[in-house]
Each structure stands twice: as structure tokens, then as C-alpha cells.
């Protein structure tokens, strides 16, 4: 899938054209992803069968109640892979490990990240969905809610229960009923509306508050770098 994205970048026009045709370009990327999925896992029942094998293996040692919940979650992961929401491409890195995913998030329209395609990795813990996955961008991105090493800091990825610092409500944090799709959509919203009151990157938060023009210039450079231009 990485090679597919790289090829897509090489064939893309210059940065300004990308910004103007973002929606069409996204549709093209989604189509390419679907082709890559079929190439990797096969069509129709073959694809679902591969995922079913992963699901059965991962559930072997689960209790009945937890297993039913896990099966439900795995079904949602499959649905996300086959029918990603607009602006998001996501899927397992390889068919040997269904709990290591890569995702590509397109910068939200009308923001300084518009037009960018930002790769990230989702890592699911053994006790998922009781515990949340971890998410990390694998590209440079300057944002108040993203640590310098790429780790995403957002309420929905925090362990379930009350916030010991009293900043978040339990409803904002992870719970087993949350979905991966909601995580990714929350990250898109985070890119559009940074929370500088709870900063993972203090320098980015300060720049966002005090020098918005400089922040946007850095973001535009990040967009161009993500597109390889």
C-alpha cells in the first residue's frame, strides 16, 4: 500500500492543482486502495474469509461474552477497511497481523492542512476493545495535539474511566463501544480545530496561539512534504 501511495504522489500535479482538486484526488486514492485490497486479500468472499480467519484466531482464548464483543469490533474494523469514510484510507499493514494498521488521513478542507495526505499507524492491544489502540503519525506534522515523535494525544484514545487530572469526562475517553472510525474522524476534527489548552507539543500550541501565520506556514510546508513536492 505504501508503494501505491508513492506512485499516486508521483503522478499527481503540482501542489496548487492538488488543493483545487482535493475531492477528486481523494476519490482516486480510495479507488486505488480498493484495488490494492483486492490484490492483497482477494475479492468478495475471499477477502472476508481472510479477515474471518484472523478473527477466529484472535478469539480462540476469549471468554464467550468478551468474544462476542471482540467479534463485533472486528466486524467494524472490516467495515472500515472496505467502506472508509471520506478523507480516510485504512487497512492492516499485512495479512499476517490484523492488529497493526496503517491509515492515511487527508487534511480537512478549509484548514492549513488541506490537501495533505498524512500516514499514520494504529496499534491494537491484546485486550482490545477493552483498551484503546495507540495512534502515531509516521510523518512530520506540527500540531498542538501531536507529540514531536508523532503520537496522537486525543481524549478518545485515553484509557477508559475518570481522568485523574479532572480535565476530561469519562464520556470523552475510550470505552469498548467506541469505534475506530470515530477515532479517525476525531483526528480529522483535531487537525481542523487544535486544542491548545491540553498540548502534547507545547511549541506548536504556543505558535498556534501567538503566531497563527507562522503556524500556517509550517503546516503548508508539511502538506507539501506529505505530497512529495
At a CB cut-off of 8 Å and minimum separation 6, what does 44 contact? none
Mean pLDDT of 36-65: 40
* Secondary element (H or E) of residue 41: helix 22-41
Kindly tell me if the per-residue pLDDT of 46 is higher than 90: no
- Higher per-residue pLDDT: 157 or 3: 157
Predicted confidence at residue 112, as pLDDT, reads 97
Of 32, 112, 139, 153, the active-site residue reads: 153
Percent of the chain surpassing pLDDT 70 = 62
pLDDT, tens digit, for every residue of 197-210? 889 999 999 999 99
pLDDT, tens digit, for every residue of 152-203? 999 999 988 877 776 777 888 999 988 888 999 999 999 999 999 889 999 9
Kindly tell me if the per-residue pLDDT of 47 is higher than 60: no
Predicted confidence at residue 24, as pLDDT, reads 44
Are 215 and 112 in contact by the 8 Å Cβ rule? The answer is yes
Find, among 133, 166, 155, 139, the residue nearest to 200 by Cα: 155
pLDDT, tens digit, for every residue of 66-95? 454 445 545 555 555 556 677 888 888 887
pLDDT, tens digit, for every residue of 90-101? 888 887 788 899
For 69-82, the DSSP string reads HHHHHHHHHHHHHH
Give me the domain span that covers residue 128.
2-226
Instruction: Quickly tell me which residue has 477477502 as its cell.
Output: 47
**Domain containing residue 138: CATH number:** 3.10.110.10
- Would you call 153 a catalytic residue per the annotation? yes
Kindly tell me if the per-residue pLDDT of 5 is higher than 60: no
Predicted confidence at residue 116, as pLDDT, reads 95
Predicted confidence at residue 178, as pLDDT, reads 87
Q: Where are the strands (E) in 12-138, listed by range?
A: 88-94, 97-106, 117-123, 134-137
Number of domains, the chain = 1
Amino acid at each position: 500500500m505504501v508503494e501505491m501511495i508513492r506512485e499516486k504522489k508521483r503522478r499527481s500535479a503540482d501542489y496548487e492543482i492538488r488543493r483545487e482538486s482535493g475531492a477528486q484526488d481523494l476519490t482516486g486514492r480510495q479507488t486505488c486502495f480498493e484495488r490494492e485490497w483486492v490484490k492483497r486479500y482477494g475479492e468478495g468472499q475471499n477477502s472476508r474469509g481472510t479477515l474471518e480467519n484472523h478473527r477466529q484466531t484472535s478469539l480462540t482464548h476469549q471468554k464467550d461474552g468478551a468474544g462476542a464483543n471482540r467479534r463485533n469490533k472486528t466486524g467494524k474494523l472490516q467495515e472500515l477497511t472496505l467502506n472508509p469514510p471520506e478523507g480516510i484510507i485504512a487497512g492492516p499493514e499485512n495479512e499476517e497481523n490484523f492488529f497493526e494498521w496503517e491509515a492515511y488521513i487527508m487534511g480537512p478542507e478549509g484548514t492549513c492542512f488541506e490537501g495533505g495526505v498524512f500516514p499514520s499507524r494504529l496499534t491494537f492491544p491484546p485486550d482490545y476493545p477493552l483498551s484503546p489502540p495507540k495512534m502515531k503519525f509516521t510523518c512530520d506534522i506540527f500540531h498542538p495535539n501531536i507529540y514531536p515523535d508523532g503520537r496522537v494525544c486525543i481524549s478518545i484514545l485515553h484509557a477508559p474511566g475518570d481522568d485523574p487530572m479532572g480535565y476530561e469526562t469519562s464520556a470523552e475517553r475510550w470505552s469498548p463501544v467506541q469505534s475506530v472510525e470515530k477515532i479517525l474522524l476525531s483526528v480529522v476534527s483535531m487537525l481542523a480545530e487544535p486544542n491548545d489548552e491540553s498540548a502534547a507539543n507545547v511549541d506548536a500550541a504556543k505558535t498556534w496561539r501567538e503566531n497563527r501565520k507562522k503556524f500556517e506556514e509550517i503546516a503548508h510546508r508539511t502538506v507539501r512534504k506529505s505530497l512529495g513536492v
